[in-house]
Amino acid sequence: MTLLLRRKRPTTAPNSTKEKAATKWGRLLACRAPLSLRAKLAALGSRARARTIAVVPQETEHAFDFTVREQVLFGRAPHLGIFGVETSRDREIAAEAMRSTEVADLADRPLRELSGGERRRVVFARALAQEPRLLLLDEPTAFLDLKHRLAVYALVEGLCRERGLTALVVSHDLNLAARHCDRLVLLRSGAIAADGAPAEVLLPDVIRAVYEVEVEVHADTASGRPFVVATRTARA
């Protein structure tokens, strides 16, 4: 699992959630992906791309008040036949996605009745129901409590290991990134400041240059990975 760590900066953003997601990931894949990958993506039709790539955006707009089950079943759309009718297999895949993200007990609830964190997990379940080969996640732990933050990363890490899924995550959480990701790419103003294994990227001098804070970097007692503790803002 690869994770992009970025420092927030003001931007002139597109208006809609779909435009934001398309702009961000489109720019990333267009500028950072090898030519061979770009050519393959360009050659795929929209249905084939939807079967290959799933996105969990930072913000999601719900124009209609669907139930959780209906929302997650939308993830099966690229796999349906011409009449768009779900089979028992589609329903089981959606059910498993809801169980994996702990929203199965909310299946019949309308989205408007859910908390921000619960809706976030529903969107994640919808992406899992697509059965993608590449999963793009933008701040996937936003609005989640500590338990579900850990659960999201553990689930994605497990899918990468067991199913060969490729996951690309955008986050500001240095410590969760270090614990669960094999590779980190640290960005500053859109440019790569560091790229490598967590121990190679999360160094005090690198973090100071990007985030303008002084930090201490320790070894996580559970994973042995770097654990960052901010101590104060860096002096100019």
Token code pair at residue 147: 């338990």
pLDDT higher than 80, residue 26: no
How many Cβ atoms from other residues are within 10 Å of residue 12's Cβ?
4
Q: What percent of the chain has pLDDT over 90?
A: 59
pLDDT mean over 46-71: 87
Which residues contact residue 179 at a Cβ distance below 8 angstroms, ignoring those fewer than 6 apart?
153, 220, 222, 223, 225
The β-bridge relationship of strands 53-56 and 134-138 is parallel
φ/ψ bin of 102: left (φ > 0), alpha (ψ from -120 to 50), beta (otherwise): left
Neighbour-count burial for 159-195, b at 16+ CB within 10 Å, e otherwise: bbeeeebebbbbbebbbbbbbbbebbbbbbeeeebbe
Predicted pLDDT of residue 17: 47
Q: What CATH number labels 2-195? A: 3.40.50.300
Q: Phi, psi at residue 122, to the nearest 5°? A: -65, -45
pLDDT higher than 50, residue 143: yes
pLDDT digits (tens, 9 = 90+) for 74-104: 999 999 988 889 999 999 999 999 999 999 9
Predicted pLDDT of residue 33: 52
CA distance 145 to 141: 8
Indicate the domain borders of the chain: 2-195
Continuous H helices in the chain? 17-32, 35-43, 46-52, 68-73, 88-100, 116-129, 146-163, 174-180, 198-201, 204-211
Predicted pLDDT of residue 38: 67
Predicted pLDDT of residue 21: 46
pLDDT digits (tens, 9 = 90+) for 171-214: 989 999 999 999 999 999 889 999 999 999 999 999 999 999 99
Which residues contact residue 53 at a Cβ distance below 8 angstroms, ignoring those fewer than 6 apart?
132, 133, 134, 135, 136
Of the pLDDT bands very low, low, confident and very high (cuts 50, 70, 90), residue 108 is very high
pLDDT mean over 27-35: 49
